Amino acid sequence: MAHKKTFLSGQRIFPDPIRGGMTVDRLIDETFLAYNGGRLQKACRLLSERMLLDDVTVGLSLSGALTPAGVGRSCIIPLIKAGFVDWIVSTGANLYHDTHYGLGMSLHRGAHDVDDTLLRREGVIRIYDILFDYNVLLDTDNYLRAIMAEKPFRKDMSTAELHYLLGKYLAAREKEMGVEDTCVLSVAYRAGVPCYVSSPGDSSIGMNIAELTMRGTGPRIDVSLDVNETAGIVYAAKQGEGKSGVLMLGGGSPKNFVLQTEPQIQEILGLTNRGHDYFIQVTDARADTGGLSGATPSEAVSWGKIDPDRLADSVVVYTDSTIAGPLLTAYVLARVKPRELKRLYDRRGEMVDRLKKDFLAEHERRLRANRVPQPR
């Protein structure tokens, strides 16, 4: 009976009836009390009360077709502008489809059970219940190939630099059209938020780069730059009293890429680090299948990805990102004042240099420690 009082110390489940006009943050605090509603409330509280403090660097991962569903415009852009997202890892598809909005193209609500053979004949593309003209793809491809053939792109670069340049061109196009904040890439460019893609060949942007390569032009993506830059961001975030938090909408390769920064620092480079401090994931994947998308925060501890002393500061919400994303966004915008932009894109070089300096010093120390004495 020694622990009974502790077990029963949680908020009493006796909510007032929901009434018209309730704000989203009050609705979540007062009525999301159990099951995945309770997990979502915990995620909202963790994000607003701890992860968005000034000393925390926040990485966001995006998987699934979120930007075609409008999540980029409705959620990611406001989070970036408020200083609540410092760096991003996305699927290439999310950033490709985000470009449609930057070019003023239209995607439409439809139905998931339409005749796809008929859609093919009519030149209509379907992403579940989102429909758009096939020419949206062709025109976006033509635009991307045209600008990626320009001189600024003709070199080795990280995906962060690639998307920064794409954002720069899209921001200029916005200016020509007299609009702003049409797409994630233009907003991230202006905010200095680096956008990485963990599998750069696995999207239409990568496919268009491959076409340019066949013509002997365009960007050359150096994936090692991505690995070192993202590790440099997390290493810099954890120096002194700083902290690192990750917010993951979905799982897959982007989830692994934001989390593998810690094994890169500890396991590969041999530097001392404790893992990310905060972990929030929205997923529909189960843990028992063994896939990365459903892997729990406690499993991540075993890899060094999460600080074992901060496991309580983690939560997994089992639901659709198109449900949780807007609710999380509305909650933190209501509860947290905007933060000053960290502009990590502008600091990539210095962060990698710091990581490299400490790695080389540690590498030399280990070589000396393991050197075999030579006979005289």
Structure tokens at 21: 């006009």
Q: How is residue 68 annotated by DSSP?
A: T
Is 305 considered catalytic here?
Answer: yes
Selection from 78, 101, 43, 23 nearest residue 249 by Cα? 43
In order, the DSSP letters of 305-329 are SB-GGGGGGEEEEES-HHHHHHHHH
Q: Rounded to an integer, what distance in angstroms lies between the CA atom of residue 350 and that of residue 146? A: 32
**Cβ neighbours of residue 360 under 8 Å, at least 6 residues apart?**
none
Q: Rounded to an integer, what distance in angstroms lies between the CA atom of residue 117 and that of residue 132? A: 15
In order, the DSSP letters of 264-285 are IIIIIT------BSEEEEEE--
Q: Rounded to an integer, what distance in angstroms lies between the CA atom of residue 123 and that of residue 125? A: 7
Determine which one of 238, 255, 305, 342 is catalytic. 305
| One-letter amino acid of 18 | I
Range list of H helices, 158-286: 159-177, 184-191, 204-214, 223-237, 252-259, 261-263
Catalytic annotation, residues = 305
